[in-house]
């Protein structure tokens, strides 16, 4: 029988993540150390479980592919929201956060952060909800809503919107495969593309593109 994280541990982990989100978006230079520490640490609150078993390569490939698709959708959304003042401010703040560390270091830090975050949300939270007898659809909705609520601590529209998309993708993968690893594959691909390279269409990128066009 697999062990479950106690509700108080899940609550503690969610609060720690919310505090890190708020702190990192108010002080972008602290984004990478705060988020990596909080996310990797929260994963330690959830004990080992059967869903940690490695699935087939097909599921891992599906996870990576869906992570890339989620990035493409996010990139398209960033193009649309960059046309509004609120969207430009949100993308500018996001850029300050993601570029506060060298790309090589950021790419490495994503791995423990994504592992901790997936183990906490897609193993700890989803397993707890399933054990309470909820349907899979309800579990997916509740886990994603809580995940987005934590990201809303940024007081910025972009993180919770991204959390809804990523939460639905990774949650569905976890429920369908019975393993957290396809969700992790999706998360790593999505985060590497979004936070490191190629990144989102920020106002800085738009300004550079406009200058090139003028030339």
Domain that holds residue 61: 22-43+56-214
- Rounded (to 5) percent helix, strand, coil in the chain: 80, 0, 20
Total-model pTM: 0.90
Whether residue 135 is contained in a domain is answered as yes
pLDDT band at 204 (very low <50, low <70, confident <90, very high): low
What phi and psi values does residue 110 have, to the nearest 5 degrees?
-60, -35
Q: Confidence band (pLDDT; 50, 70, 90) for 3?
A: low
How many domains, the chain?
1
pLDDT of residue 214: 44
Asked if residue 2 is part of any domain, the answer here is no
What's residue 52's pLDDT?
67
Rounded CA separation 173/140 (Å): 10
13 within domain boundaries: no
Q: How far is CA 66 from the centre of its chain?
A: 13
- Taking only the tens place, the pLDDT of each residue in 54-110 is 788 999 999 999 999 999 999 999 888 888 888 899 999 999 999 999 999 999 999
| pLDDT digits 0-9 by tens, 9-27 | 999 999 999 999 999 999 9
The total of other beta-carbon atoms located within 10 Å of residue 183's CB is: 33
């Amino acid at each position: 029988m697999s062990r479950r994280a106690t509700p108080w541990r899940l609550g503690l982990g969610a609060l720690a993540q919310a505090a890190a989100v708020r702190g990192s978006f108010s002080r972008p230079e602290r984004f990478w150390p705060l988020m990596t520490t909080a996310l990797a640490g929260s994963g330690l609150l959830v004990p080992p479980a059967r869903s940690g078993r490695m699935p087939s390569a097909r599921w891992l490939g599906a996870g990576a592919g869906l992570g890339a698709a989620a990035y493409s959708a996010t990139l398209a959304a960033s193009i649309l929201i960059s046309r509004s003042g609120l969207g430009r401010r949100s993308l500018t703040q996001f850029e300050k956060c993601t570029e506060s560390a060298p790309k090589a270091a950021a790419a490495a830090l994503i791995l423990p952060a994504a592992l901790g975050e997936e183990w906490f949300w897609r193993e700890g939270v989803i397993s707890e909800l399933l054990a309470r007898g909820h349907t899979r659809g309800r579990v997916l909705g509740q886990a994603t809503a809580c995940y987005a609520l934590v990201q809303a601590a940024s007081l910025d529209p972009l993180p919770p919107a991204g959390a809804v998309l990523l939460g639905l993708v990774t949650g569905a993968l976890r429920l369908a495969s019975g393993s957290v690893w396809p969700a992790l594959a999706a998360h790593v691909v999505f985060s590497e593309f979004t936070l490191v390279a190629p990144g989102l269409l920020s106002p800085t990128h738009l300004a550079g593109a406009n200058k090139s066009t003028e030339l």
